[in-house]
Amino acid sequence: MVEVSASPARVSGSFNTTEPSGDRTLKVYSNGTIRFKDVVYSLTTRQAHRQVTITWDPEAIIFVTMEGEIIAEFGWPAPGTKHVGIKSARTSFQRAVKT
């Protein structure tokens, strides 16, 4: 009998959910963007092709590098918004505080 191992989950740059909070690893597209809940977030092309963690809750959407640097923290965009630029972030490029 041959055992087949499960392949690792594919990491993409898009994610859609109805959950009010959570986190997910995504891959930044070559143009420095990520699509989350039908909104394109422009981060930076310096992060192109890298994996980042997105954490969301009812108050904020936060993108963090795998090294722990906060790329950007956004408030939730208004309904109908299709694009959010990094210049509209509450904070950007800060080292996360380790607890």
Asked, for residue 82, whether it belongs to a domain, the answer is yes
Please count the structural domains in the chain. 1
Mean pLDDT (the chain) is 87
Asked, for residue 2, whether it belongs to a domain, the answer is no
Asked, for residue 64, whether it belongs to a domain, the answer is yes
CA atoms within 13 A on the CB side of 86: 15
Which one is predicted more confidently, 11 or 6? 11
Instruction: Find the mean pLDDT for residues 52-77.
Output: 95
Check residue 13 and report its DSSP letter: S
Residue 18 lies in domain:
14-93
Asked, for residue 6, whether it belongs to a domain, the answer is no
Asked, for residue 19, whether it belongs to a domain, the answer is yes
The confidence score (pLDDT) of residue 11 equals 81
Q: Which region, left, alpha or beta, applies to residue 60 given φ > 0 means left and ψ of -120 to 50 means alpha?
A: beta
pLDDT band at 29 (very low <50, low <70, confident <90, very high): very high
pTM above 0.85, yes or no: no
Asked, for residue 8, whether it belongs to a domain, the answer is no
